[in-house]
Amino acid sequence: MTTKASTFSRSKVLGGLAALLLTATAFAPAAQAVTPEEIKAKGTATIGVQMDQFPWGFIDQNGQNDGFDIEIAKLITKELGVDVKFERITGQNRIPLLVNGNVDFLVPSMTITEERAKVIQYVIPYSSNDITVWGKNDAEIQGNDDLGNYVIGVNRGSAFDPLLVKVAPANTQIKRFDDDATTVQALLSGQVDAILGSVTYGLVINQTGNGDTFERKYKVADNFQGMAVRKGDQEMLDFLNDFVARHTEDGVLDELYKKWIGSDRAKLPTTLPGVDFTGKE
């Protein structure tokens, strides 16, 4: 078992999340409402996307943005009749970039949480991504109680971090990394014994040729994902809610999910406790 990793208290992690949300809130007055018509008038939509998380958003061998979220963002801008400018987001900066007006909206494969919904306005879910523990084949991890016997890696600033703190035994050694790519690399390089995160981490592990050495241990929780706009951007919210509803009905989102994730897209909810998708509550 890997030795000596820094252990963070639950209060520090939750306090850090609260600080991030407060920082984002502090930026909010600087941002102006953005409507579809305003985006059409300027001719370009600036969209926050991930660029280092295969298969959601990444840079391909030709140096171009590609992935599930990228295709969806391009489809949105095609319907708006405008060009697209991609802005790289991370778990740490995506909410501040949105509320401060650096991007028009997010297509981020971002977990929907009640805490974030207090600061940003979610669109109805368009995707899902089970939260999963991945580990070495010989690591005896069958449930949350077993995590305390190992060093566990996680992406700081993601929804995975506070969930790990919540479900893992208090003595669990946790190592935090800046993004999904470095979290997966930490597992492959032996810095940690297991990681908690996206079910699609398995695609990355297989791509590296390590599919026979590491395995999916168990599902920790559902993970519904939503695009996001700023609070008060009602017309943009309505446009994107309609976009998700229409392309759920015609099967376009199912086709893209199957193409990139390799499995059928789950039937997603249009309501969740503590989260308003209408912008009118």
pLDDT number for residue 52: 87
In terms of domains, do 51 and 87 share one?
yes
Segment 3-22 mean pLDDT: 43
Q: Is residue 279 part of a domain?
A: no
Interatomic CA distance for residues 233 and 225, integer angstroms: 19
The structure tokens listed for 122 are 């979610």
State whether 207 and 233 are in the same domain: no
Judged by phi (left if over 0) then psi (alpha if -120 to 50, else beta), residue 267 lies in beta
Q: Which residues contact 76 (CB under 8 A, 6 or more apart)?
A: 45, 47, 107, 240, 243
Residue 43 is part of a domain; what is its CATH number? 3.40.190.10
The pTM of the full predicted model, rounded to 2 decimals, is: 0.80
pLDDT surpasses 80 at 13: no
In a domain, 70, yes or no: yes
Position 3 scores a pLDDT of: 41
pLDDT higher than threshold 60 for residue 28:
no
Q: Left if phi > 0, otherwise alpha if psi is -120 to 50, otherwise beta: which for 208? A: alpha
Check residue 213 and give its pLDDT: 97
DSSP code, position 144: G
- Residues 89, 206: one domain? no
> Positive or negative, the Cα torsion across 182, 188, 194, 197?
positive
pLDDT digits (tens, 9 = 90+) for 172-191: 999 999 988 899 999 999 99
Q: Supply the range of the domain harboring residue 175.
A: 10-17+130-221
Element (H, E) at 42: helix 36-42
pLDDT in tens, 193-212: 999 999 999 999 999 999 99
Model confidence at 32, pLDDT cuts 50, 70, 90, reads low
Q: Are residues 122 and 242 in the same domain?
A: yes
Cα separation, 218 vs 131, whole angstroms: 9
230 in the same domain as 197: no
- Identify whether residues 215 and 232 lie together within a single domain: no
Q: Give the 3-state secondary structure of residue 255.
A: helix
d(CA 100, CA 94): 10
User: Would you say how long the chain is, in residues?
Assistant: 281
Q: Are residues 135 and 91 in the same domain?
A: no
| Same domain, yes or no: 180 and 233 | no
- What is the model's pLDDT at position 21? 47
- Total domain count, the chain: 2
- Does residue 24 form part of some domain? no
Q: Distance between CA atoms of 116 and 94, rounded to whole angstroms?
A: 11
Domain presence at residue 26? no
Give me the pLDDT at residue 274, please.
95
CB atoms under 10 Å from CB of 66, counted, come to 18
Quick one: 118 and 80 in the same domain?
yes
Q: Are 179 and 68 members of one domain? A: no
Backbone angles phi, psi at 156, to 5 degrees: -65, 145
Q: Are residues 135 and 148 in the same domain?
A: yes
Whole-number Å distance between alpha carbons of 134 and 201: 8
- Same domain? For 197 and 237 the reply is no
Could you tell me if residue 270 is inside a domain?
no
pLDDT band of residue 15 (cuts 50, 70, 90) is: very low
